[in-house]
Chain A
Amino acid sequence: MLSLQILANGLVLGGLYACIAAGFSLVWGVLNVINILHGSFIVLGGYLAYYAYAQFGIHPFVSILIAAPLFFALGYILQRSLINRMIAAPVLLTLSLTFGLDLMLSNGMLVAFTADFKKLTLDPPLGVLNLGGIALPVDRLFAMVLALALTGLLYLLLSRSRIGRAIVAVRMDREAAALMGVNVKRIYAVTFGLGALMAGASGPLLAMIFPISPLSGPVYLGKAFVICVLGGLGSVPGAMIGGLALGVVESFGALWFGPEHAITLSFTLLILMLLFRPTGLLGRTGYA
Chain B
Amino acid sequence: MTSILPRRALAAIAMLACGAVAALPGTSMAQGTIRIGAPLPITGPLSPEAKKLQNGMNLWVETANKAGGIKVGAKKMKVEIVYVDYQSNTPRAVQATEKLITQDKVDFLFSPFGSGAAKAASSVSEKYEMPTIAATASSEQVYDQGYKYLFGVYTPNQTLTEPLADLVKKQAGGVQRVAILARNDLFPLAIAQEMEKSAKKRGMNVLYFEKYAIGTLDHASALSQIKAVAPHWIFATGYINDLILIKKQMSDLGIEAPVVTMVAGPAYKEFVSALGKSAENVTSAAWWHPAVRYTSKDVFGSTENFNKMFHAKYGTEPDYGEASSAVSGVVLQLAIEAAGTLDKKAVRDALAKMNTMTFFGPIKFGPTGQVVSLDPPVFQVQKGRQVVILPAGIKQGDLQLGVK
Task: Answer yes or no: A and B touching, Cβ < 8 Å.
Answer: yes
The count of chain B contact residues (Cβ–Cβ below 8 Å) is 39
A116 touches B245 (CB 8 A): no
Majority secondary structure of chain A interface residues (helix, strand, loop or mixed): helix
- Residue B48 contacts which of A114, A137, A219 (CB distance < 8 angstroms)? A114
A100 within 8 A of B: no
B44 touches A115 (CB 8 A): yes
Nearest CB of B to A208, in Å:
10
B45 touches A119 (CB 8 A): no
- Residue B254 contacts which of A9, A125, A130, A260 (CB distance < 8 angstroms)? A130
B103 within 8 A of A: no
Q: How far is the CA of A135 from the CA of B43 in the complex (A)?
A: 40
Q: A115-B44, A117-B241, A135-B252 are in contact. Are A262 and B274 (CB under 8 A)?
A: no
Give the residues in chain A near B211, CB-CB below 8 Å. Answer: 258-260
Q: Mark A197-211, 1 if CB is under 8 A from B, else 0.
A: 000000000000111
Q: Which of A119, A121, A255, A264 has the most CB of B within 10 A?
A: A119
- Residue A128 contacts which of B222, B240, B252 (CB distance < 8 angstroms)? B252
Q: Mark B112-123, 1 if CB is under 8 A from A, else 0.
A: 000000000000
Nearest CB of B to A18, in Å:
14
User: Which of B192-200, B212-220, B355-363, B367-375 lies on the face that meets chain A?
Assistant: B212-220
Give the residues in chain B near A2, CB-CB below 8 Å. Answer: 224-225, 228
- Interface range for A: 35 or more
Q: A117-B244, A259-B211 are in contact. Are A140 and B252 (CB under 8 A)?
A: yes
A6 touches B224 (CB 8 A): yes
Give the residues in chain A near B220, CB-CB below 8 Å. Answer: 6, 9-10, 13, 251
Contacts of B356-402 to chain A: CB distance below 8 A: none
Give the residues in chain A near B276, CB-CB below 8 Å. Answer: 121, 123, 125
Q: How far is the CA of A123 from the CA of B275 in the complex (A)?
A: 10
- From A258, which residue of chain B is reached at the shortest CB distance? B210
A260 touches B212 (CB 8 A): yes
Q: Which of A114, A251, A258 has the most CB of B within 10 A?
A: A258
A211 touches B245 (CB 8 A): yes
- Residue A119 contacts which of B228, B254, B274 (CB distance < 8 angstroms)? B274
B253 within 8 A of A: yes
A263 within 8 A of B: yes
B270 within 8 A of A: yes
B90 within 8 A of A: no
Nearest CB of B to A249, in Å:
11
A263 touches B215 (CB 8 A): yes
B244 touches A211 (CB 8 A): yes
B210 touches A13 (CB 8 A): no
Q: How far is the CA of A9 from the CA of B218 in the complex (A)?
A: 9
Contacts of A46-101 to chain B: CB distance below 8 A: none
- From A263, which residue of chain B is reached at the shortest CB distance? B213
A110 touches B221 (CB 8 A): no
B210 touches A259 (CB 8 A): yes
Contacts of B222-254 to chain A: CB distance below 8 A: 222, 224-225, 228, 240-241, 244-245, 248-249, 251-254
Give the residues in chain A near B47, CB-CB below 8 Å. Answer: 110, 114-115
B252 touches A262 (CB 8 A): no
- Residue B241 contacts which of A10, A13, A211, A250 (CB distance < 8 angstroms)? A211
A135 touches B210 (CB 8 A): no
Q: A211-B245, A258-B211, A259-B211 are in contact. Are A9 and B221 (CB under 8 A)?
A: yes
Q: Mark A230-269, 1 if CB is under 8 A from B, else 0.
A: 0000000000000000000011111100111111100000
- From A256, which residue of chain B is reached at the shortest CB distance? B221
Q: Which of B51, B221, B240, B274 has the most CB of A within 10 A?
A: B221
A259 touches B213 (CB 8 A): yes
Other A-B pairs, 10, CB within 8 Å; known A2-B224, A259-B181: A9-B218, A9-B221, A10-B220, A10-B221, A117-B270, A135-B253, A213-B241, A215-B44, A251-B220, A259-B219
